[in-house]
């Protein structure tokens, strides 16, 4: 399905520093001609890459990780948003003109974007109509929303129309009411309200709500601390690393080198500073959280999604139940919607969600992680594994029995790590050595634009100059 996506580096342990330091770009898959209703297709598009620069926090992350490349000299605001590289840009529209905002919240921190618009000069009102989330068109367009609750890492395509006097100004704000752009009304035109539109749905986004979940394919994914909660057998192989990661983090928090720390007992990694999924921190060649049976409907009960933005690679997932706020007329989240990142604190931090997806086309690893990237860097990341065998919850590599899947397009890997055996060195933020020679700087000129009838994936940056600083240490 065509839609709004983005790219960012993912070097484990340095993701916060790199994304929080500015490395992000839009990836737009254009709509085929005639795919959308003409009023949407004809609307002017604005790509809004929303980046949060909290320079003091990022400096702290750089210090924690031993990085000496990031630095800033502050003589003003150290905590602000940019909109495609510009602080609080003006977007000039005509009264009653529909525009399509492709909003990418290139977020790395805790909260949702919570985008809202308010009149600051003149008179009038603006509407926000949700069109798509995470690059997937919603099935109940047009849905009026009042708050764009885009989780960190999430995207939303929102149709915006202001009915206002000439010269009126609307402030767009997000992330704790910081400025993210102004809509300036100049001139007037005519338009009509949208009629309902249901997108053509590709096979991989077929509705899963009435599907039968595959045998044994209903599993838990707990985005939480490192308590193994009765699933310690699966977590045992990671126990030594879990303790190690936590000890290193504790040392950084204390600001000194500290001692080596004790090994701790099973589940002894707690202390409130550990970031795990299903009791395990991320590690190289990690045992899968769950094994997925290829082309079987998967169901996950996600916990922790009131506080941690859960992000899943490869396969978007459909919201099945437990969608907090679903009964609001203007809810950003609704049962049946598709997402690839989900954070919804309207049901409290302890809220949980049941979601489904079907692994098709690809087998092999499917990454999941918290999109509060400091959590991810410290271990709140994991891998599921799609294979030709059956589903196994809280699995180990030793459970991987069948890689012979017809249609496999992904590189498979042969894992020989037996249950309980630890063979890899720990790599944490503190271990990453930055190679100065690896730094490259790429500048994309913002004037580049791609015709609407170009169906290929394209970069299309409409606001000014956007600079990518790629400091990949691969």
User: Contacting Cu ion (CB under 5 A), which of 112, 126, 370, 426?
Assistant: 370
Structure tokens at 73: 């000299």
Name the one range near Cu ion by CB under 5 A: 98-106, 163-171, 195-203, 375-383: 375-383
3-state secondary structure of 42: coil
Which is closer to Cu ion, CB of 252 or CB of 308? 308
3-state secondary structure of 469: strand
Eight-class DSSP state of 267 = T
Which is closer to Cu ion, CB of 236 or CB of 370? 370
Q: How many CB atoms lie under 10 A from the CB of residue 35? A: 15
As a whole number of angstroms, the distance between CA 16 and CA 153 comes to 12
Which is closer to Cu ion, CB of 30 or CB of 378? 378
Which is closer to Cu ion, CB of 82 or CB of 352? 352
Name the one range near Cu ion by CB under 5 A: 59-67, 201-209, 313-321, 366-374: 366-374
CB of 372 to Cu ion, least distance (A): 4
CB 353 within 8 A of CB 208: no
Eight-class DSSP state of 424 = S
CB of 276 to Cu ion, least distance (A): 10
Tell me how long the chain is. 474
CB of 328 to Cu ion, least distance (A): 25
Instruction: Tell me how many residues contact Cu ion (CB under 5 A).
Output: 4
Contact flags string 403-432 toward Cu ion, x per CB under 5 A: ------------------------------
CB of 351 to Cu ion, least distance (A): 14
User: Contacting Cu ion (CB under 5 A), which of 161, 372, 387, 462?
Assistant: 372
CB of 454 to Cu ion, least distance (A): 38
CB of 325 to Cu ion, least distance (A): 20
CA atoms within 13 A on the CB side of 56: 7
Tell whether residue 222 is a contact of Cu ion (CB under 5 A): no
DSSP per-residue string spanning 190-254: ---PPPPB-PPPPGGG---TTSPPPTT-EEEEEEE-S--TT-HHHHHTTHHHHHHHHHHHHHHHH
Residues 302-341 touching Cu ion, rule: CB under 5 A, are: 308
User: Contacting Cu ion (CB under 5 A), which of 102, 149, 375, 387?
Assistant: 375
CB of 375 to Cu ion, least distance (A): 3
CB of 350 to Cu ion, least distance (A): 14
Name the one range near Cu ion by CB under 5 A: 135-143, 370-378, 396-404, 447-455: 370-378
CB of 391 to Cu ion, least distance (A): 26
User: Which residues, at least 6 apart from 131, have a Cβ–Cβ distance to it below 8 Å?
Assistant: 40, 100, 137, 138, 141, 142, 156, 157, 158, 159
Which is closer to Cu ion, CB of 304 or CB of 316? 304
Which is closer to Cu ion, CB of 67 or CB of 376? 376
Structure tokens at 50: 């929303």
DSSP per-residue string spanning 68-122: -S-----SS-SEEEEETTBSS-EEEEEET-EEEEEEEE---SSS---BEEEEEES
| Residue ranges binding Cu ion (CB under 5 A) | 308, 370, 372, 375
């Amino acid at each position: 399905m065509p839609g709004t996506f983005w790219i960012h580096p993912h070097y484990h342990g340095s993701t916060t520093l790199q994304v929080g330091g500015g490395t992000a770009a839009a990836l737009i898959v254009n709509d085929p001609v005639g795919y959308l209703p003409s009023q949407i297709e004809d609307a002017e598009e604005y790509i809004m890459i929303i980046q949060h620069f909290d320079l003091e926090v990022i400096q702290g992350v750089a210090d924690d990780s031993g990085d000496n490349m990031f630095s800033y000299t502050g003589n003003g605001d150290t905590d602000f948003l940019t909109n495609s590289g510009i602080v609080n840009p003006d977007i000039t529209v005509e009264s009653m003109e529909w525009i399509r905002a492709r909003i990418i919240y290139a977020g790395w921190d805790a909260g949702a974007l919570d985008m809202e618009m308010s009149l600051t000069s003149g008179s009038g009102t603006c509407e926000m109509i949700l069109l798509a989330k995470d690059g997937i068109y919603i099935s109940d367009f047009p849905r009026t929303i009042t708050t764009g609750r885009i989780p960190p890492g999430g995207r939303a395509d929102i149709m915006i129309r202001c009915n206002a006097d000439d010269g009126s100004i609307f402030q767009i704000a997000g992330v704790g009411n910081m400025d993210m752009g102004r809509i300036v009304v100049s001139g007037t035109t005519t338009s009509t309200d949208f009629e309902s539109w249901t997108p053509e749905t590709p096979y991989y986004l077929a509705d899963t709500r009435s599907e039968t979940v595959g045998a044994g394919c209903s599993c838990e994914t707990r985005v939480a601390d490192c308590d193994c909660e009765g699933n310690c057998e699966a977590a045992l192989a990671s126990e030594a690393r879990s303790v190690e990661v936590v000890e290193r983090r504790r040392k950084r928090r204390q600001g000194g080198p500290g001692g080596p720390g004790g090994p701790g007992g099973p589940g002894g990694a707690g202390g409130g500073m550990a970031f795990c999924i299903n009791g395990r921190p991320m590690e190289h060649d990690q045992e899968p959280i769950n094994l997925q049976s290829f082309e079987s409907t998967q169901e996950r009960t996600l916990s922790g999604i009131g506080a941690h933005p859960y992000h899943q690679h490869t396969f978007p997932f459909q919201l099945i139940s437990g969608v907090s706020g679903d009964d609001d007329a203007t809810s950003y989240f609704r049962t049946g919607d598709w997402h690839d990142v989900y954070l919804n604190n309207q049901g409290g931090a302890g809220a949980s969600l049941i979601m489904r997806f079907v692994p098709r086309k690809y087998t092999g690893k499917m990454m999941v992680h918290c999109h509060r990237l400091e959590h991810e860097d410290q271990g709140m990341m994991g891998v599921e594994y799609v294979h030709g065998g059956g589903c196994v919850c809280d699995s180990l590599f030793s459970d991987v029995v069948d890689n012979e899947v017809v249609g496999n397009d992904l590189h498979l890997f042969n894992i020989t790590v037996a249950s309980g055996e630890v063979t890899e060195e720990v790599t944490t933020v503190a271990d990453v050595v930055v190679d100065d020679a690896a730094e490259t700087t790429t500048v994309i000129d913002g004037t580049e634009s791609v015709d609407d009838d170009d169906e290929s994936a394209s970069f299309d940056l409409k606001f000014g100059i956007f600079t990518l600083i790629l400091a990949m240490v691969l």
